[in-house]
């Protein structure tokens, strides 16, 4: 029995976290939940965005699954997600982008993985107000972190028997920062001769993803580009409600849905729990329960293939609770 830190999160988070708990109970997953608060909900209760209770739980269990947390735009507190990634050095953000058979989307046959460097780039948060009307942000890229994310991408490709790793960059313009990132990944690629290696400029990659997305296999890229490309990829397969994510370090890992907290529909039984369920399936893979991870993914696929058992955002009529029961009913 593995103890997992569970953070329900804000907005729709508690509803979709409950969905994960119910599905795990149905498949008899060997998981014990240690539920703690974090984010805006925690702040309203304790005055802390990241209470010590969460920190202690995650340090103890080393694996967490997390519902979405609210981050203000412009002012207010910084992203809890960014803070967590930096505190525990969760340097690899892994986001699968794959079609579900039978579910209408812009394209079919998409099956890519975006591996995003999670610890530096502009997300390092090194920003200054130079003077009134002038601000500066520092883009930090190091060879150490770049090679580390490169190894993660190639090791993942090798493990999953993927054929190609593509590094996405803007080294034609940012010759020192992106140039260093590109050179670092090239250096790593020499250790994986069985895997095809290539590179692509980020703006071209965006265009290629919406014209011929089936060409992509594993993409490794910097923090900001990875954030943008993974949301673009989610749009190709049906939206953020289907996009799972994992933040992985050497010792700790947090699994989460990519979408936001959607406070406008919180508590209305309208949220699609698919993304968090898929993240939970990846968590099962991570702890060595691959057959159970596959069982969750297969039951979701069977549910989404039927127009009658889809949530409202996917053109269906089911709410969060009914969809969860449909997924449980499709477990085999």
Is 98 inside a domain boundary?
A: no
Output the pLDDT for position 12.
96
Is 301 inside a domain boundary?
A: yes
> Residue 165 above 90 pLDDT?
yes
Cβ neighbours, 10 Å, residue 64: 24
- The last residue of a domain, from among 237, 270, 301: 237
Note whether 57 and 178 are same-domain residues.
Answer: no
Rounded to 5 degrees, φ, ψ at 85 are -60, -40
Is 133 inside a domain boundary?
A: yes
Structure tokens at 224: 């900001």
Is 97 inside a domain boundary?
A: no
Note whether 153 and 169 are same-domain residues.
Answer: yes
Output the pLDDT for position 71.
61
- The last residue of a domain, from among 185, 203, 237: 237
pLDDT band at 246 (very low <50, low <70, confident <90, very high): very high
Output the pLDDT for position 61.
97
Note whether 114 and 233 are same-domain residues.
Answer: yes
- What are the pLDDT digits (tens) for 221-239? 999 999 999 999 999 998 8
What number is the average pLDDT over the span 251-272? 93
Alpha carbon distance 95, 233 (integer Å): 9
Note whether 202 and 318 are same-domain residues.
Answer: no
What number is the average pLDDT over the span 153-161? 95
- The last residue of a domain, from among 203, 237, 271: 237
Alpha carbon distance 17, 277 (integer Å): 8
pLDDT band at 326 (very low <50, low <70, confident <90, very high): very high
Per the listing, tokens 């993974």 go with 230
Note whether 232 and 251 are same-domain residues.
Answer: no
Is 76 inside a domain boundary?
A: yes
Share of the chain above pLDDT 90, in %: 84
What is the domain extent for residue 322? 1-90+242-332
Note whether 38 and 74 are same-domain residues.
Answer: yes
Query: Cα(first)–Cα(last) distance of the chain, in Å?
Result: 22
Helix count (H) and strand count (E) of the chain? 11, 12
- What are the pLDDT digits (tens) for 267-276? 999 999 999 9
Structure tokens at 91: 């340097």
Note whether 247 and 233 are same-domain residues.
Answer: no
The secondary element (H helix, E strand) that includes residue 97 is strand 92-98
60: which residues sit within 8 A by CB, 6+ positions away?
3, 5
- What are the pLDDT digits (tens) for 5-55? 999 999 999 999 999 999 999 999 999 999 999 988 888 888 888 999 999
| Mean of all residue pLDDT scores within the chain | 93
* Predicted model pTM: 0.89
Output the pLDDT for position 332.
87
- Contact between 141 and 123 under an 8 Å Cβ cutoff? The reply is no
**6 has which bridge partners?**
35, 65
Is 211 inside a domain boundary?
A: yes
Is 229 inside a domain boundary?
A: yes
> Residue 69 above 70 pLDDT?
yes
Note whether 192 and 214 are same-domain residues.
Answer: yes
Could you tell me where the DSSP H helices lie in 6-39?
13-26
Note whether 278 and 263 are same-domain residues.
Answer: yes
* Nearest in space to 65 (alpha carbons), one of 1, 8, 116, 2: 8
Is 95 inside a domain boundary?
A: no
pLDDT band at 75 (very low <50, low <70, confident <90, very high): very low
Question: 207 to each of 4, 202, 224, how far by Cα in Å?
Answer: 39, 9, 17
pLDDT band at 74 (very low <50, low <70, confident <90, very high): very low
Note whether 113 and 207 are same-domain residues.
Answer: yes
Q: How many CA atoms lie within 13 A of 303 on its CB side?
A: 30
Q: How many domains does the chain have?
A: 2
Note whether 134 and 257 are same-domain residues.
Answer: no
- What are the E-state strand segments in 123-243? 127-131, 134-137, 164-169, 196-201, 218-221
CATH of the domain at 26: 3.40.718.10
Note whether 3 and 75 are same-domain residues.
Answer: yes
Q: Does residue 55 sit in helix, strand or coil?
A: helix
């Amino acid at each position: 029995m593995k103890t997992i830190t569970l953070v329900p999160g804000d907005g729709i988070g508690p509803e979709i976290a409950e969905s994960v708990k119910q599905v795990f109970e149905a498949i008899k997953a060997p998981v014990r939940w240690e539920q703690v608060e974090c984010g805006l909900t925690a702040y309203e209760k304790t005055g802390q965005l990241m209470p010590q209770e969460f920190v202690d739980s995650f340090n103890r269990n080393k694996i967490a699954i997390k519902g979405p947390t609210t981050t203000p735009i412009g002012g207010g507190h910084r992203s809890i997600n960014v803070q967590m990634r930096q505190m525990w050095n969760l340097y690899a953000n892994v986001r699968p982008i794959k079609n579900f058979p039978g579910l209408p989307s812009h394209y079919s046959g998409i099956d890519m993985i975006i591996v995003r460097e999670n610890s530096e780039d502009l997300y390092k948060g090194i920003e200054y107000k130079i003077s009134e009307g002038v601000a500066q942000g520092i883009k930090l890229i190091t060879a150490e972190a770049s090679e580390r994310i490169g190894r993660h991408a190639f090791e993942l490709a090798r493990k999953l028997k993927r054929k190609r790793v593509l590094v996405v960059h803007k080294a034609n313009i940012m010759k020192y920062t992106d140039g260093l990132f590109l050179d670092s990944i090239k250096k790593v690629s020499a250790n994986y001769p069985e895997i095809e290696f290539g590179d692509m400029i980020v703006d071209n990659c965006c265009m290629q993803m919406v014209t011929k997305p089936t060409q992509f296999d594993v993409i490794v890229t910097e923090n900001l580009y990875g954030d943008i490309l993974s949301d673009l990829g989610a749009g190709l397969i049906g939206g953020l409600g289907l996009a799972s994510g994992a933040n992985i370090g050497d010792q700790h890992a947090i699994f989460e849905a990519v979408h936001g907290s959607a406070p406008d529909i919180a508590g209305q039984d309208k949220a699609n729990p698919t993304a968090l369920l898929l993240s939970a399936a990846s968590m099962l893979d991570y702890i060595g329960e691959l057959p159970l991870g596959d069982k969750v993914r297969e039951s979701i696929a069977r549910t989404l293939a039927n127009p009658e058992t889809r949530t409202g955002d996917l053109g269906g009529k089911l709410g969060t609770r009914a969809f969860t029961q449909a997924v449980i009913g499709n477990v085999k």
